[in-house]
Amino acid sequence: EKNQDVFSGKMYTTFVKSALEAMDQNNDATDLRTLASQLNLPVTHPEYIALDDQAIIIATLTNHITLLDNERCTDLIKAVLGMRLYQVKEQPAFQQRYTQFLTVLCSGIPKWWTEVADKLIGEFISSNTQAHHEVLQFLLHSTPTATTVLQPLLAKNFPHITTTKKQICVNYIHNILAMGGYCSDLVYSSWCLIMENLIKLDVALQNELDELDDDLDDVEIDDSGDEADTDSESESEDEESEDEDMENEEYNAEVTTNISDLSSKLDAVMFKLFETTGPAFSLHELNEGNGVVLFNTLVSLFKSHVLPTHYTRSIQYLLFHAAQQQPELMDAFLVTLIDIAFSQSETIEQRIKALQYIASFIARAAKLLRHQVVFVVSYLVGWLNKYVIERESEVGDGRGGMERFKLFFSAFQCLLYIFCFKHQLLHKDDKLASDDSDWECSIDRFFQRIIVTKFNPLKYCNETVVLIFARISQQQNVAYCFSLIEQNKRERLLGIKGAAGGAGANGAFMLTARQDFLDLEGYFPFDPLILKKCKALIAEEYYVDWSEDEDEDE
């Protein structure tokens, strides 16, 4: 059998040489076309060339690479490039000859560079890609400006994130991040691609969940309708109802499957990113500068991609996890959010969103230090005090509604939310004799003063947050809010009645003003994750869960 293999090998070597000579000397590419056709055959075809013989063919072509610089060789080269390198993991000899062919081809005939790179990146859907990265490293080393070519290829080959199988997406993302290890110029563009696609996946999942919620609401509405069926209803109506029920069941099953698929995929990819990024933020990596570059990249993409997207649910946890790897990173993330929230150059929507992130991050991040919480609280208290001094006189001046003060209400709600979660950290450690407050930033006096200003902020913040704050603040002797809450409730009911009767213009205005704030008030970016693996990882040491006993522990 060994002699037969040697004979077969010599035969293919002779055949390839002869075919190349015929093409070079006589312009006869018949044998080359035959060879290209055979290399394109599936493994099940009776004329399929064995892998060992393919290796000999490729080695012979490598040794005669200059002869391949001919239009008549195009089909043959494409046939060789069509071989799936990741499918021959158990054939190291073939892999070695194949990768050698690719490097020699790109060196000897540079016009094939892009096609070779495209082929290699297209196979990033596999986890068996060590050989791919070796060739790409060689290509980048030989052509340093190649990153401009690789960036569009990475985008072109990115799997369709919502429809492609989970493992393929995980493999591709793992591989493009691996490229950043030997080509720093690709780090930002690779992460940009990942962020864009994960946002698509996150939004698609959220849309499916919202659609399911809407459908369940519709079912409840239908079920609560007129139940007084009469005996005169026809049997055909009963049959139609049964058909509709079956269709609804099939539809709900399909929606549930979609949710499961999208959730599982997002969970797998995010978990892979947690695993990849975590070690990058060790003190050693940060001191080397690598971790700093990655963190700055994530923060930049958070600002440009995540923050402007309407209410993502999971993608923001990349920053939640990354920032908590070191206290300095938490500082950097909070400073970024504060800069956005209080920058005049940002849109009001961006500023409100940043405040929601500040509130949710401080409430939920388990590794935050006390001084970090106190710093943010101090900043918010200072800004809110200044706002009241400068703008309280505008309330009720007839120049516009309360929506003018959305940013104020958002900042106040941010402070309420933080207090609900972290009030224990706001007790002063060492009270000085000159102090007249047991609280950092004299937050008790601050709340007592702000809630009775003309802004009446308790009326425009999230009702759940307000009620929890009212309970905790009363227990802690910080402020008493329930009388104000009841008064606001009575005014709202009067406004509803007046608006319904057509005579209460002011009541209708207040309803409209309140509706304006509904969108801004109910979003908490770091509410519990719905992704199982990621949630378990985050819960281990990074996350603060809300407890119903949170406001009863003292």
Q: What is the pTM of this model?
A: 0.86
Q: 436-476: per-residue pLDDT in tens?
A: 789 999 999 999 999 999 999 999 999 999 999 999 999 99
According to the model, what pLDDT value does residue 1 have? 44
Between the CA of residue 485 and those of 37, 153, 330, what are the distances in Å? 80, 58, 35
Between the CA of residue 410 and those of 65, 75, 300, 332, 483, what are the distances in Å? 67, 64, 23, 22, 22
CB 134 within 8 A of CB 99: yes
What is the rounded average pLDDT of the residues 277-301? 93
Cα–Cα dist 111/532, whole Å: 47
Q: 58-81: per-residue pLDDT in tens?
A: 999 999 999 999 999 999 999 999
Domain residue limits at 35:
1-83
* pLDDT exceeds 50 at position 98: yes
Cα–Cα dist 259/251, whole Å: 12
According to the model, what pLDDT value does residue 59 have? 95
Q: Could you identify the residue written with the tokens 């001919």?
A: 70
| Band (503; pLDDT cuts 50, 70, 90) | very low
What is the rounded average pLDDT of the residues 316-330? 97
| Band (519; pLDDT cuts 50, 70, 90) | very low
CA atoms within 13 A on the CB side of 186: 27
According to the model, what pLDDT value does residue 529 have? 96
In a domain, 482, yes or no: yes
CB 526 within 8 A of CB 360: yes
Q: 340-374: per-residue pLDDT in tens?
A: 999 999 999 999 999 999 999 999 999 999 999 99
According to the model, what pLDDT value does residue 499 have? 54
Quote the percentage of the chain above a pLDDT of 90.
70
Q: Give the SS3 label for residue 414.
A: helix
Q: 392-419: per-residue pLDDT in tens?
A: 999 987 787 888 999 999 999 999 999 9
According to the model, what pLDDT value does residue 272 have? 97
In a domain, 158, yes or no: no
Domain boundary pick from 63, 83, 103: 83
Residue type, 255: V
Domain boundary pick from 83, 104, 133: 83
| Band (496; pLDDT cuts 50, 70, 90) | low
Of 301, 347, 311, 337, whose CA–CA distance to 520 is shortest? 311
CB 414 within 8 A of CB 362: no
> Of the ranges 308-317, 402-411, 495-504, which one carries the lowest mean pLDDT score?
495-504
Residues with Cβ within 8 Å of residue 20, at least 6 apart in sequence: 32, 64, 67, 68
* pLDDT exceeds 80 at position 511: no
Of 113, 18, 28, 116, whose CA–CA distance to 72 is shortest? 28
* pLDDT exceeds 70 at position 187: yes
Residues with Cβ within 8 Å of residue 186, at least 6 apart in sequence: 147, 150, 151, 154, 176, 179, 180
Average pLDDT, the chain: 87
In a domain, 383, yes or no: yes
CA atoms within 13 A on the CB side of 392: 14
CB 128 within 8 A of CB 120: no
Domain boundary pick from 33, 66, 83: 83
Residues with Cβ within 8 Å of residue 505, at least 6 apart in sequence: 498
Q: What is the 3-state secondary structure (H, E, C) of 309-336?
A: CCCCCCCCHHHHHHHCCCHHHHHHHHHH
Q: 7-24: per-residue pLDDT in tens?
A: 567 888 999 999 999 999
Residue type, 76: L
CB 264 within 8 A of CB 257: no
According to the model, what pLDDT value does residue 221 have? 47
Total domains in the chain come to: 2
According to the model, what pLDDT value does residue 397 have? 79
CB 144 within 8 A of CB 183: no
Cα–Cα dist 172/168, whole Å: 6
In a domain, 43, yes or no: yes
In a domain, 268, yes or no: no
Is residue 25 within a helix (H) or strand (E), and if so which, with residue range?
helix 2-26
Could you tell me the end-to-end alpha-carbon distance of the chain, in angstroms, rounded to an integer?
Answer: 84
